[in-house]
Amino acid sequence: MIVVVDDELPLVQLLVRALKRDGMEAVGFSAAQAALDALEEQEPRLIVSDVKMPEMDGHEFRQAYQRRFADRRTPFVFLSALADTDSVLRGLDGGADDYLTKPIDTPVFVAKIKALLRRVSKAEPEVFRGSLGQLSFVQLFQFCERRGLTGEVRVRTPDGQVALPFHGGDVVLDGVDGDEPLARLMDAAEGEFSVVSQPIDFDELLESERAAATVRSRRDEPTPMGLLSGVRLGDRLLQVQTEYERAPVSQVVTMVVHEGRVMTKRETSPPPGATIADLSALIERQHAAMEQLIRDRAEALASKRRSSEPVAALSKEQYLEQGLERYRDGDLPGALELLTKAVAAFPGDRLLQANLNIVSAKISSR
């Protein structure tokens, strides 16, 4: 959906009709506040806004949109009669993706919008969303690590927002303000997260130590948001991930993963001509069905006591999960003991070391 915002209603109607004639979904608003309120439920593909408007001008509109929808990366275009160099530079330097000047022919306007959408789609990120109530931040980071992701993890909790970058599957702590962001995530028992993954350039991949990481092809069309969650089966926390894949065939794929191993997989081909909304709905249904399947199996196992021999050593994932559980239960010495063993067992692991630092600092501050 393309959104056009301008206090000149006839111009808004003209541009919206032109976009629709070219096969694009478009909607117009004559006030920035009305557009903000309407976009609460749906993220547009692109926003076109006038600069000089009453009550809230284009620059204020863009800033308000970014504050309200911090997880979105919606392209933003200014369309203004202010054609002087200073106005254009202010718009572009302020983060706008393009600056078009009035008057503009509708065919030229439509062509420029299509060109911008093509540029944006070539670098469109892959996005997963989920809840910390279902999947701990430890499991979330392991997901990024196993997939060799480059991008950013954004977590919104009642205490605020945390954004941590990833590169080739490794969390990038350089430049992050100490261990405070990780400490906030360790304390968070609830919140929403999104994983925004950018494709790794081939030249960059050759220089990376993770040369075996899978490089996903760049997309020519928008991709629906994937889902990521965790469901407990007995004493195991299983990761459930659902996404849409275009190649080698078009399908919605749901996988259940435990400690890096795929436990089960479901693939569904969408109907011909399926829209982004259709694919998103299919992702929601298939993800929920897989979660329910795991819960049903958990209920079947609940009546049986599972017997297993103690293992000589824990995996990295088990150290992190058990350490986090003790930390949240207030057992800081127990968490410290586990994480100390983990760092010794996996020397050089930055995430383990950062968690050990956080627990040590908590104990020292008592």
* Burial letters 105-122, b for 16+ CB under 10 A, else e: eeeebbebbeebbeebbe
Where b means 16+ CB within 10 Å and e means fewer, 218-236 reads: eeeeebbbbbbbbbeeeee
Task: Give me 69's structure tokens.
Answer: 């929808």
For 51-67, what is the mean pLDDT?
Answer: 89
Please state which of the ranges 50-64, 149-163, 173-187 shows the lowest mean pLDDT.
173-187
Distance separating alpha carbons of residues 2 and 16, to the nearest angstrom: 8
pLDDT in tens, 178-223: 567 677 777 777 788 888 776 544 444 344 443 333 333 333 455 6
**Considering the chain, what percentage of its residues have pLDDT values greater than 70?**
83
Query: How many C-beta neighbours within 10 Å does residue 88 have?
Result: 18
DSSP three-state, residue 325: helix
Q: Is the pLDDT of residue 115 over 60?
A: yes
Calpha distance 18→109 (Å, rounded): 9
Q: Return the pLDDT at 33.
A: 93
3-state secondary structure of 283: helix
What is the pLDDT, as a whole number, of residue 197? 72
Contact 266, 293 (CB under 8 A): no
Compute the distance between CA of residue 329 and CA of residue 332 in angstroms, rounded to an integer: 8
The bridge status of strand 192-198 relative to strand 2-5 is unpaired
N-to-C CA span, the chain: 53
pLDDT at 93 over 90: no
**Rounded alpha-carbon distances, angstroms, from residue 323 to 164, 209, 344:** 21, 28, 14
Q: Is the pLDDT of residue 78 over 50?
A: yes
How many Å separate Cα 214 from the centre of its chain?
18
Q: Is 189 helix (H, G, I), strand (E, B) or coil?
A: coil
pLDDT, position 299:
77
pLDDT in tens, 220-263: 455 667 888 888 776 677 888 898 887 677 889 998 887 777 77
Please write the tens of the pLDDT for every residue from 18-39: 999 988 899 999 999 999 999 9
